């Protein structure tokens, strides 16, 4: 007689995180994707001022940029569950408040202050999801599999971000058109209450909770300032600069052709290619190193942007954005993968929110500057801005490769 023993099942991230985790974490990002565009649409409709709408969006981004890493640090210190429940509840109440106050005679300064508070309390679902999954991988996976699983996870997370940021503005447009301008903001508040709360209370949060000895054993704050920790964050800032310059200059390009409202749809072409290639990163061989991926795909983005000033048709712009999108997804995945690999002990949520805030800061600042360039110097000048932003991403990739080699 032969006795056979069942082979132990390989560890699976889906099983470790829970089957319900991924749909909940995906939908919980939607309020953030709807919020900035929703607030802009609401303020322009209620106050009749595009400049005030742009300033309100910028204040939302500024609040998130300043307080996002602090929320990440709080999650590393006190656990994600507590931080998400407090931030999510406060954010939902503030969204409902601005949906009401913007239609009252309250001063513009009060609207701007409220927008800043909305940004400051923005639940950092995407960075905290990355931090949560990296924590589970490090705790439950054998050392030999960790790096590949982390890269695959960052690929999925970046694709999820792309999907949400393509569909978020579309949902805002549908709600604002079919119901009223306040509907997207109220809808974002309702989604946050339900799905951010579900994300906070999900059993996976307990697996990512820091144990008392882990809190005491966290790496000091100064380790967050190491060059190899800061370069992925600087790269994410460059990506934010690219997103802001690209969308704003594209809006000016479409406005010249009399269809500014279609800018979001054309911009979505970049998101499609980006999401597809972000997922494909998990299939890249190990010998195609993270540093080489950053240089390769950021160079592709830069090369794609060089064609922008010479395009004069919407079809040509679509093709160009599809090509650029092929480089965007893998570059973002690589930056997050490098950040995860270099995160100081016990600082995962902080580092991930640093990258997320970098994208937001870059996007907000670039949108404002590119908008002013388009208005004063024209669309041709504005279309040079994405080239400069792509050059920043590539230059930071070169700096990172040199620092890594020296280290």
> Which spans in 179-285 are helix H?
183-191, 197-201, 203-208, 212-216, 227-256, 263-280
* Tens-place pLDDT, residues 194-211: 999 999 999 888 776 655
Q: How confident is the model at residue 213 (pLDDT cuts 50, 70, 90)?
A: low
* Tens-place pLDDT, residues 66-105: 898 888 888 888 888 999 999 999 999 999 999 999 998 8
* Tens-place pLDDT, residues 117-146: 999 998 888 888 988 888 888 888 888 888
Q: Give SS3 for 259.
A: coil
Q: What's the whole-number mean pLDDT along residues 236-248?
A: 89
CA distances from 178 to 115, 169, 181, 183 (A): 24, 14, 9, 9
Six-digit token pair at 123? 């639940």
Residue span(s) of the chain under CATH 1.20.1250.20 come to 19-215, 218-407
Whether residue 157 contacts residue 26, with contact meaning beta carbons closer than 8 Å, is answered with no
* Tens-place pLDDT, residues 9-60: 556 788 888 889 999 999 998 888 787 778 877 887 888 776 777 778 778 8
Q: How confident is the model at residue 215 (pLDDT cuts 50, 70, 90)?
A: low
What is the DSSP-derived secondary structure letter of residue 308?
G
How many angstroms separate the CA atoms of 350 and 215, rounded?
A: 13
**pLDDT for res 7:** 42
Q: How confident is the model at residue 8 (pLDDT cuts 50, 70, 90)?
A: very low
Positive/negative CA dihedral, 273, 331, 148, 287 = positive
CATH class assigned to 19-215: mainly alpha
CATH number for 218-407: choose from 1.20.1250.20, 3.40.50.970, 1.25.40.10, 3.30.379.10: 1.20.1250.20
Whether residue 223 contacts residue 347, with contact meaning beta carbons closer than 8 Å, is answered with yes
Neighbours of 370 (CB within 10 A): 28
* Tens-place pLDDT, residues 357-381: 888 888 878 877 888 888 788 889 9
Distant-in-sequence, close-in-space partners of 140: CB < 8 Å, separation ≥ 6:
11, 16
């Amino acid at each position: 007689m032969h006795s056979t023993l069942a082979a132990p099942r390989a560890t699976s991230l889906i099983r470790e995180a829970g089957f319900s985790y991924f749909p909940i974490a995906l939908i919980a990002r939607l309020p953030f994707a709807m919020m900035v565009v929703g607030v802009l649409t609401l303020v322009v409709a209620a106050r009749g001022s595009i400049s005030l709408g742009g300033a309100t969006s910028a204040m939302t981004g500024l609040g998130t940029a300043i307080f996002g890493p602090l929320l990440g640090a709080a999650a590393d210190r006190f656990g994600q569950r507590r931080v998400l429940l407090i931030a999510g509840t406060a954010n939902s109440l503030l969204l409902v408040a601005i949906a009401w106050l913007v239609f009252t005679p309250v001063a513009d300064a009060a609207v701007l202050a409220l927008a800043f508070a909305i940004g400051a309390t923005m639940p950092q679902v995407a960075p905290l999801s990355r931090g949560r999954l990296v924590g589970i991988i490090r705790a439950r996976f054998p050392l030999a599999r960790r790096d590949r699983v982390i890269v695959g996870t960052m690929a999925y997370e970046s694709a999820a971000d792309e999907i949400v940021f393509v569909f978020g503005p579309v949902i805002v447009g549908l709600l604002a058109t079919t119901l009223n301008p306040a509907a997207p903001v109220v809808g974002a508040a309702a989604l946050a209450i339900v799905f951010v709360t579900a994300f906070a209370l999900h059993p996976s949060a307990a697996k990512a909770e820091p144990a008392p000895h882990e809190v005491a054993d966290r790496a000091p704050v100064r380790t967050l300032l190491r060059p190899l920790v800061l370069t992925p964050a600087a790269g994410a800032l460059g990506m934010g600069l690219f997103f802001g310059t690209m969308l704003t200059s594209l809006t000016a390009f479409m406005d010249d052709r009399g269809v500014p409202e279609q800018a979001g749809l054309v911009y979505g072409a970049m998101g499609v290619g980006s999401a597809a290639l972000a997922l494909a990163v998990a299939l890249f061989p190990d010998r195609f190193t993270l540093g080489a991926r950053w240089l390769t795909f950021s160079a592709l983005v830069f090369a794609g942007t060089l064609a922008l000033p010479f395009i004069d048709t919407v079809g040509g712009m679509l093709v160009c954005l599809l090509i650029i999108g092929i480089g965007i997804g893998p570059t973002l995945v690589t930056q997050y993968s490098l950040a995860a690999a270099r995160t100081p002990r016990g600082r995962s949520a902080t580092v991930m929110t640093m990258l997320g805030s970098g994208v937001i800061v870059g996007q907000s600042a670039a949108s404002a500057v590119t908008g002013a360039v388009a208005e004063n110097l024209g669309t041709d000048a504005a279309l040079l801005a994405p080239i400069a932003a792509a050059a920043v991403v590539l230059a930071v990739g070169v700096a990172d490769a040199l620092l890594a080699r020296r280290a």
